[in-house]
A and B are shown apart, each in its own frame.
Chain A
Amino acid sequence: DQQVKQNSPSLSVQEGRISILNCDYTNSMFDYFLWYKKYPAEGPTFLISISSIKDKNEDGRFTVFLNKSAKHLSLHIVPSQPGDSAVYFCAASDFGNEKLTFGTGTRLTIIP
């Protein structure tokens, strides 16, 4: 059973607009969440993370929001740029567990 779900396989956004990528999780033990970005033929690279004690974390154009009661997190990219076109993976972990549980990814395409 999938504990981390990204229900949108793809998303297209106009350059300069906001991109919103969503992620849901089912395991209430998860307390640390990460977003990874992946370009074709490359490995995933870490983008941003958030601990469950926060509801928002911001890093430049990237902001992650966490809604624990809804078991939902989202990644906002504003403004979107062509270089943001990639597959974005949501991942989660719980303290004491050394492995990440990933979602299936969302392919983001930024339209110039």
Chain B
Amino acid sequence: EAGVTQFPSHSVIEKGQTVTLRCDPISGHDNLYWYRRVMGKEIKFLLHFVKESKQDESGMPNNRFLAERTGGTYSTLKVQPAELEDSGVYFCASSPGDRGRAGELFFGEGSRLTVL
């Protein structure tokens, strides 16, 4: 069974440019999460999809970040325009079913974003 896959693994862009990160969750997983780790700090929650619906986007830093999940399958996270403080590793995770709590999540390898 394929795990969570993320693309690109590393992206280097100039401040003001746009970047789109993609996540393909484990097949059949309704829950999809985006997290971010900045500068070796904690892994911070960004948002949570249940199928194609945004369940919780309380962690999104500002309106420069836009997440979508087309048809409840893969998800994209767009940063436009990118700022220096957006640099970090963006992790996608998925989990099956609707359990009413966050438990064991399956993480992808992450997309490292460097904004120059």
What residues of chain A have their CB less than 8 Å away from a CB belonging to chain B? 2, 4, 32, 34, 36, 41-46, 49, 89, 91, 93-105
Contact = CB atoms under 8 A, between A and B. Distances in A.
30 contacts: A2-B42, A34-B103, A36-B107, A43-B4, A43-B91, A43-B93, A43-B107, A43-B109, A45-B107, A46-B105, A46-B106, A89-B42, A91-B43, A93-B102, A93-B103, A95-B101, A96-B101, A98-B48, A98-B55, A99-B33, A99-B48, A99-B58, A99-B102, A101-B45, A102-B42, A102-B43, A102-B44, A103-B42, A104-B41, A105-B43
Interface in B85-112: 91, 93, 100-110
Contacts, number: 70
B75 interface: no
A98 B104 contact: no
A49 B105 CA distance: 12
